[in-house]
Structure 1
Amino acid sequence: MIKLTPTSTQLLASWIALHGRFRLFFEGPHGRRTPAELTVEPIPGTGVRLTLRAADSFNSCTLNGATSSKSLRDRAEQWLTDCANGQLERAA
């Protein structure tokens, strides 16, 4: 299973509170790291729009921010992991 590196996971909570582009890394089962670009656009009073560019793929979603920031970070992490693993139905 492909997942975010520990450093990218730690930084994600800060990134989703900001507006900008961030470089993150996914790690595969054999330790291979793959770079990706995450664009974060906060939507005041609504949530956050995330866009992920990794290899030849492009995915985006809007997450409702009505819950705590930890929950928003957890949902963002799950969406990123789902995209990296090709589980787009679940990521949508």
Structure 2
Amino acid sequence: MGSGDIKVSPGLLQLDYPCGVVVFQEYDEARPIGKWEPNDRKVAAPEETPVRMTFDKIESIDVVIWALQEAKRMMSEETWQTLLEQPKEAAGDE
């Protein structure tokens, strides 16, 4: 995410109402991507989670999942090359 190794953790956040949360925290050392590790802390200080996505509707999570899947699809080599190519227009054709 542009700042080194990042831990991505799901959870619940109690505000005036319960809401889902995904927090992004920096790791002190490199870890394998996608390796699940238990979280030994139940509550993190706000300064430890500078980036959070909070949700109060399940449908909002679906939208983020869709956007992430679409970004993944767009990053595939074939699609990436297609996106970089400019449409070719024949000169003088009408």
Quick check: TM above 0.5? no
Larger radius of gyration: 2
Higher strand content, 1 or 2: 1
TM-score (norm 2): 0.24
